[in-house]
């Protein structure tokens, strides 16, 4: 399965924009010693555009988050950016700017894994970040992957539902996995039964918690959940899309809604930030970090214990 954005130098990373084939060098021993194999960073809803006339804070927030990650003494083994990479409808300049903004992560030797959301354009994304497109995609016209870590497997889904193409395309808020992707996920879960499974998708399931969060969520939430609950290694589903923060459960599986990096719709109740995940044999801690340092969410931890069976 593809492991997205393998480690490379800044020169090699930016060379993707011109279609160069990137070969990933091995980490130096000193860099490898700085990696915490049980640590994951989660960003989502970065909403980067070629230019940001509405809010200069959006790219600033991503720069601040990237700089914080690079400065850590113990770096994460994986950085997952969980959809809505682009501001509106995924134009080439959006992904070029996004690529430059996250380049310091690559320089620091952090593997970066990307999913797609409703504000992305799958074809344009693959045109700009050509190394992201598999020669033989495991699911046709979808961007999926599996990341194997010491204490967990991460399953990265593509919930982008598109309407039209090119100039006639319009953004639809709801997400859709589809039968082919669900079948692929089932096969991959069956092939990786030995470690806890964390499922990543941009869209929220229309399950668990308050129904005020359901609009715009996954259309095929019910068949997804039937698939997940039948595999006991599945412990949690992690999403963005809502630009908020919450923790629910549905039929024994945790649902973690992680905050947006870019902006929020209601600043009186939400704020921007990112999430650090620490895995253990017994479960996982999700720690929220915010750009507004005095916000009540900053440093707040959601403890998730692995369910038995």
Q: Digits of tens for pLDDT over the chain (309 positions)?
A: 343 444 444 444 444 333 322 223 344 555 566 899 999 999 999 999 998 766 789 999 999 999 999 999 999 999 999 999 999 899 999 999 999 999 999 899 999 999 999 999 999 999 999 988 888 889 988 999 999 999 999 999 999 998 655 555 677 899 999 999 999 999 999 999 999 999 999 999 999 988 888 889 999 999 999 999 999 999 999 999 999 999 999 999 999 999 999 999 888 989 999 999 999 999 999 999 999 999 999 999 999 998 775
Predicted TM-score of the model (pTM): 0.89
Q: 11-44: b or e for each residue (b if 16 or more CB lie within 10 Å)?
A: ebbbbbbeeeebeeeeeeeeeeeebbebbbbbbb
Q: Which CATH class is domain 10-305?
A: alpha beta
Dist. CA 129–CA 5, nearest whole Å: 9
- Which phi and psi (to 5°) does residue 75 adopt? -90, 150
Helix axes 221-229, 179-191, angle to 10 degrees: 10
Dist. CA 202–CA 213, nearest whole Å: 14
């Amino acid at each position: 399965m593809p492991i997205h954005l393998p480690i490379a130098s800044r020169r090699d990373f930016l060379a993707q924009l011109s279609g160069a084939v990137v070969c990933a060098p091995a980490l130096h021993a000193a860099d490898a010693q700085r990696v915490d194999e049980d640590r994951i960073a989660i960003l989502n809803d970065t909403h980067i555009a070629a230019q940001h006339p509405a809010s200069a804070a959006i790219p600033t927030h991503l720069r601040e988050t990237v700089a914080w990650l690079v400065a850590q003494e113990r770096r994460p083994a994986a950085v997952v950016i969980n959809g809505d990479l682009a501001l509106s409808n995924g134009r080439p300049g959006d992904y070029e700017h996004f690529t430059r903004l996250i380049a310091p992560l690559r320089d620091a030797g952090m593997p970066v894994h990307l999913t797609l959301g409703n504000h992305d354009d799958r074809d344009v994304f693959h045109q700009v970040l050509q190394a992201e497109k598999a020669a033989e995609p495991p699911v046709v016209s979808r961007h999926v992957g599996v990341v194997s870590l010491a204490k967990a497997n991460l399953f990265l889904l593509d919930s982008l539902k598109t309407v039209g193409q090119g100039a006639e395309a319009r953004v639809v808020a709801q997400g859709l996995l589809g039968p082919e992707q669900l079948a692929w996920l089932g096969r991959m879960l069956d092939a990786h039964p030995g470690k806890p499974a964390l499922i990543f998708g941009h869209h929220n399931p229309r399950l668990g918690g308050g129904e005020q969060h359901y609009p715009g969520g996954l259309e095929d939430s019910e068949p997804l959940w039937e698939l997940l609950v039948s595999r006991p290694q599945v412990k949690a589903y992690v999403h963005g899309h809502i630009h908020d923060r919450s923790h629910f459960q549905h039929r024994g599986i945790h649902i973690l809604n992680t905050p947006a990096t870019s902006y929020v719709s209601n600043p009186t109740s939400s704020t921007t930030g990112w999430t650090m995940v620490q895995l253990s044999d017994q479960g996982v801690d999700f720690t929220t970090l915010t750009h507004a340092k005095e916000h009540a969410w900053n440093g707040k931890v959601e403890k998730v214990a692995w369910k038995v069976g």
